[in-house]
Structure 1
Amino acid sequence: MQVYFELLGRTFMAFIALLLVSRILGKQTISNMTFHDFATGIMMGAIAANLAFNRQFPAVYFLICLVLLTLISYTSSGISLKFPKTRHWLSGAPTVVIDKGNILEANMRKIHYTLDSLNQSLREKDVFDLNEVDYAILETNGQLSVKKKEQFRSATKQDVHIKPSHSILPIELVMDGQILHRNLDQNHISEEWLMQQINNKGKEAHDIFYAVKSTNGNLIFDYYQDELSNPIDKE
């Protein structure tokens, strides 16, 4: 029984340690992963796994390793911000793979990027014809950025002389039957106004699963009881 409690404690400790390290290193570690972030993430996972399950060594050894890894990663991130050459070595640099509609074979060979990978990435950008591409750049996180030729770009409101309408960020007002008073206060929305809108629907706050003020200012409600006559789970 003692072994199970020890495993439980070490696993919880590993989770808390990983959470703290991730918070310290910032969102970059879990978003656009570069070479530096990839190496940090792999090492963090390996150390945390050993902390949770490797009973041959005291837990404090792995905690020390995590602290050292955090310091190394944090320091190298600071250095890369200050020195561009170091940043290119740690995080890599974007690579142009298509320039003015021409595929740069030498650049693709240099980064071991195949035509199959290029075509797949283009299809993911809704590009099925190479003739549509003006520039394509492989970013440091492995994503392909594509600039289409002028004649293949989607028309914008400015192109067709439509005045863009003003929009706001969606504001969540009710979640799981609870009014989000903080969101009301931050956006200068009165609770009385919200309750009036809810009452106009013949509902109470506890009847609402989710309510949000959309980007165009309209209120959208989703109720606990959706009143579907024949609800169906799609397989």
Structure 2
Amino acid sequence: MNEYIDLIIRSVIAFAILLAGSKLLGKQTISQMNIFDFIASITLGAITANLTFNSNIKIHHHVIAFFMFVGVILATAYISMWSQKSRTLFAGDPTVVIQNGKILEKNMRSMRYTADYLNQQLREKDIFNIEEVLFAIIETNGELTVLKKPQFRQVTKQDLWLSAAPESKLPIELVMDRKIKKDNLKENQLTESWLMSELQKQNTALEEVFYAVLLPNGKVYIDTYKDHIQFPVDKE
């Protein structure tokens, strides 16, 4: 087989099995990567890279190795669901680094976590004064979660005894790039005639709509191609 054709076939197969593996493993590996997920992702990437470029190993051997490793990852995930000890073994435990405004230096040293990095992550959460922090915890995926002291937390409507309109559903996309989202209309017992009447109320034709969404409060938000902004803030 021509080496270029072989490379193309291997690349397509590598992409296909990587996509299939990602679907099997779900979103957690991408969005909430802990130590075990990190190792798993690197290994799967290495296998697919070898499948693409290492022609000395047969394609089906790579595919078998890939899905065997996916199977191991799924097995450990299911074991972790039922066993606290397994979760701790594979993912570790969260670590408290600030308690009642005081930095826990021993916990930070055990993680090789520096004060500079701690300050950076606090600033990313709009915290510039450590005394505002009741607890700060390093989660198993490396993210810092912070609980402020009560006097520094944002005031809510509940705190002020103000009534709030109930919301029981997510925004519903109606139009995207001039095209009606018919499935969304059907799932929410809405009709195209209702949509057209809503567009008409705002003196807008379907051809002018870039994006339209039904908000939880019952209002329809419409964005048109013509924004009528004379001086855009950021123009490429």
TM-score (norm 2): 0.92
* SS of equivalent residue, structure 1 residue 135: strand
How far apart are the structure 2 equivalents of 1:81 and 1:130? 35
* SS of equivalent residue, structure 1 residue 71: helix
Q: Which runs of no fewer than 5 residues in structure 2 stay unpaired?
A: none
Letter of the 2:64 partner, please give it. Answer: I
Matching residue of 2:220: 219
Matching residue of 2:78: 78
How far apart are the structure 1 equivalents of 2:231 and 2:5? 48
- The Cα of 1:233 is off from its aligned counterpart by 5.6
* SS of equivalent residue, structure 1 residue 169: coil
Q: Residues 53, 125 of structure 1: CA spacing in aligned structure 2 closer, same or farther, 3 A cutoff?
A: same
How far apart are the structure 2 equivalents of 1:125 and 1:155? 17
Q: Residues 225, 153 of structure 1: CA spacing in aligned structure 2 closer, same or farther, 3 A cutoff?
A: closer
Matching residue of 1:195: 196
- The Cα of 1:230 is off from its aligned counterpart by 6.5
Q: Residues 232, 122 of structure 1: CA spacing in aligned structure 2 closer, same or farther, 3 A cutoff?
A: closer
Matching residue of 1:15: 15
Letter of the 1:207 partner, please give it. Answer: E
How much identity, in percent, do the aligned residues show? 45
Q: Any residues of structure 2 matched to 1:1-235 within 5 Å, and which?
A: 2-167=2-167, 168-227=169-228, 234=235
- The Cα of 1:34 is off from its aligned counterpart by 0.9
1:200-232 deviation digits (Å, cap 9, x = unpaired): 344432332211112322111122344555678
Q: Residues 130, 230 of structure 1: CA spacing in aligned structure 2 closer, same or farther, 3 A cutoff?
A: closer
How far apart are the structure 2 equivalents of 1:78 and 1:59? 29
- The Cα of 1:125 is off from its aligned counterpart by 1.0
Q: Is the 8 A contact 2:174 2:212 kept in 1?
A: yes
More displaced 10-residue stretch of structure 1: 152-161 or 215-224: 215-224
- The Cα of 1:77 is off from its aligned counterpart by 0.9
* SS of equivalent residue, structure 1 residue 165: coil
Q: Residues 127, 63 of structure 1: CA spacing in aligned structure 2 closer, same or farther, 3 A cutoff?
A: same
More displaced 10-residue stretch of structure 1: 30-39 or 53-62: 53-62
Aligned-residue CA RMSD in angstroms?
1.9
Q: Is the 8 A contact 2:135 2:146 kept in 1?
A: yes
Q: Which runs of no fewer than 5 residues in structure 1 stay unpaired?
A: none
1:109-168 deviation digits (Å, cap 9, x = unpaired): 111111111111111111101111111110001001111111111111111111112234
Q: Residues 134, 231 of structure 1: CA spacing in aligned structure 2 closer, same or farther, 3 A cutoff?
A: closer
Q: Is the 8 A contact 2:102 2:131 kept in 1?
A: no
